[in-house]
Amino acid sequence: MKKTFHIFLFFLLAAMLLSGTQARAQRINHVIGFYNLENLFDTYNDPSHNDEEFLPEGSNQWTETKYAKKIHNMAEVIRAMHDDNGLWHTILGVSEIENRLVLEDLVSDPQIAEANYQIIHYDGPDRRGVDVALLYDPAKFKYLDSESIPFTFAGSKVKITLNKEAQENFRTRDILMVHGLIGEEHFAFYVCHLPSRIGGKGSDLRSRGAEIIYNHSKKMEKKYPGIKIAVMGDMNDNPTDESQKKWLHGKATIAEMEPGDFFDPFETMLADGYGSLAYRGEWNIYDIIQVNYNLATCTDAGFKLRRVVRNKYYGRVFNKPFMTQQSGQYKGTPFRTFSNGAFIGGYSDHYPTYIVITK
């Protein structure tokens, strides 16, 4: 009798393990990420862009050879993320790109061409001539519409330090919103590159950018009840800064969220020592992805966040040895394209970040 019971128990456990394995295999996963490509300029002179540095005769001596190396490197990172995850990004937001041409060169690189990435890009007014854009897998994401949202000061509740004349002359990247379907569910993705800290630009400008995104996202939630939203970008702020905490309503945990809030999985990671870029020996996470209440708290059969690092964190900073400086003054930090004005053939001064949704 005891032997029969043990045999029964063995087959029961085996069936349970098989059932769990099959359930995991049947999960549908989507990678949603962001990557600052660090000055992805072509080699052609565009009078409408401030691209003089990135010309063959410019200060960076930006030749076709260097450009080809840069494209190869960016594609290598995207390929490495695919190999790690076993699937291509469904959505990949990017920043610091000059135009659509450089993205066409990127997505056609042999390392990632099979992903068949499609491009959403608008030329923006940034004085440095860089834009944000979004790449998507058309087999997984059904594109419906998009909008390039201008950075303005009208109606802001943020206390702006610039005078009226300075506000009228201020130019920075527009914010990209892309709306579509994953499965049958509505999603909106915001891609941004908020104003830099360089040149004494105040935190109020980044707070204003976050305010613009938040206000627009509320309109999308009203128009499409239940819509799931991800805001991604180089925020030039950490998750703990005012732009992210106050104006984007970012929360460090899902448990503390209320309707109208966003969840920032990178706040806990920053506190635990992770970073997407280093400045003067200090790690920061400026490359942030926040998700709205509908996505963060989903309990039905729809898409929900999945832990992706050590079964603990809902976000990942993707860094591999080949993307990291291995010697010298900046050892251990992102292996960038230029260092002290010299081309060193690296990747980017930022590591990419991503989240995974599943059902």
The tens digit of pLDDT for each residue in 227-248 reads 999 999 999 999 999 999 999 9
Q: What is the pTM of this model?
A: 0.93
pLDDT tens, residue by residue, 4-26 = 545 554 554 444 444 444 444 57
What pLDDT, on the 0 to 100 scale, is given for residue 198? 83
Cβ burial 337-348 (10 Å sphere, 16+ → b, else e)? bbeeeebeebbb
- Do the Cβ atoms of 236 and 196 come closer than 8 Å? yes
Phi, psi of 319 (to 5 degrees): -140, 130
List the structure tokens of 154.
């009208």
Pairing of strands 262-263, 287-292: antiparallel
Give SS3 for 303: coil
Query: What are the residues whose beta carbons fall under 8 Å from the beta carbon of 305, sequence distance 6 or more?
Result: 254, 263, 265, 291, 295, 296, 298, 314, 355, 356, 357, 358
pLDDT tens, residue by residue, 21-74 = 444 457 899 999 999 999 999 999 998 888 999 999 999 999 999 999 999 999
Hey, what amino acid is at 180?
Answer: G
- CA nearest 294: which of 192, 140, 186? 186
